[in-house]
Chain A
Amino acid sequence: MKSRKIFNRIAVLRSERNVSRKELADSIGVNFQTIGYLEREEYNPSLDLAFKLSEYFNLPVEMIFSTQPMKPLSVELKNLKGGNDERIAE
């Protein structure tokens, strides 16, 4: 079975937090080359690895991984905030 391509923003999050591939890899228990494969979207992680990354970055899984090409994090947060404001206004 051919699986779908999973998009992610690991590279952005990693550079934003000034973490090297090696540091991130050691924290979640994988080879640092696997981080490279994930960042280039050449490898789809398991659910376990996806959750480990989400725990590491302290973000929900859907903020890190998506089946659709990912928008910049700022746009996503703005949309999220906009939605919350609308709910408060209601």
Chain B
Amino acid sequence: MKELQSERRKALVINYLSFILFLSIFYLVKAGVFPLIYLSTNLLPLSGIVFSFHIAFGKSHLWKLTHSAYKDLDERETELVFKATTISYSIFTIICLVMIYVFNFIGFGPIDVVLAAFLLYLAHSLPAAIIAWNQKVIIETE
């Protein structure tokens, strides 16, 4: 079975867009733009996150790969994870900085638990996302 790269890329886009939508609804409710009842619409992006997570990271075993101990990986996998982690570190730093500045700029003050949880998820998922985006074949038959 060869997994489609385009399918994985779509899942990644859906995953992060769902997260952005989730956060947007949450903060618009928090700011009083939308009434509290609108929080229930967050179920839609939440299900999008879970579903796309399964396709992008679960089915391809990429979550497991990027969260394995180095001693359990072979030399190709170690190199792959190392490169992805290096790139994701740079991306994560920029996103963090932008988030902190945006939060201060719009007057939300320091980042809260919800955004911290998103950033934590981002830190953990970015290396796997970079591999999922770049690798043509992830699962193959013997």
Q: Chain A residues in contact with chain B, CB under 8 A?
A: 20-22, 29-34, 36-37, 43, 45-46, 48-49
Instruction: Give residues in B with beta carbon < 8 Å to A.
Output: 73-77, 137-140, 142
Are B76's CB and A29's CB within 8 A? no
Question: Which one of A31, A48, A49 contacts B77 once the chains associate, using CB atoms below 8 Å?
Answer: A31
Q: Other than A36-B137, A45-B75, give 12 A-B pairs with Cβ distance below 8 A.
A: A21-B142, A22-B142, A29-B74, A30-B74, A30-B75, A31-B73, A31-B76, A33-B137, A33-B139, A34-B77, A48-B75, A49-B75
| The one of B76, B137, B140 that contacts A30, using a Cβ cutoff of 8 Å | B76
Task: Give the residues in chain A near B76, CB-CB below 8 Å.
Answer: 30-31, 34, 37, 43
B142 contacts A46, CB within 8 Å?
Answer: no
Nearest first, the 6 closest Cβ-Cβ pairs linking A and B are: A30-B74, A34-B76, A22-B142, A21-B142, A31-B74, A20-B142
Query: Once bound together, how far apart are the Cα atoms of A46 and B75, in whole Å?
Result: 8
Chain A residues in 8 Å Cβ range of B140 = 33, 36
Contacts of B139 in A (CB 8 A): 33
Of the A-B pairs whose beta carbons lie under 8 Å apart in the complex, a sample of 15, sorted by A's number, is: A20-B142, A29-B74, A30-B74, A30-B76, A31-B74, A32-B142, A33-B139, A34-B74, A34-B75, A34-B76, A34-B77, A36-B137, A36-B140, A43-B76, A49-B75
A contact residues around B73 at 8 Å (CB): 31
CB distance from A2 to the nearest CB of B (A): 13
Residues in B with CB closer than 8 Å to A33 are: 137-140
CA distance A34 to B75 in the complex (A): 9
- CB neighbours of B138 from chain A (8 A): 33
Q: Closest approach, in angstroms, between the C-beta of A23 and any C-beta of chain B?
A: 9
**Which residue of A has the minimal Cβ distance to B138?**
A33
Q: Nearest-CB distance from B8 to chain A (Å)? A: 15
* Residue among B75, B76, B138, B140 facing the most chain A CB atoms (10 A cut-off): B76
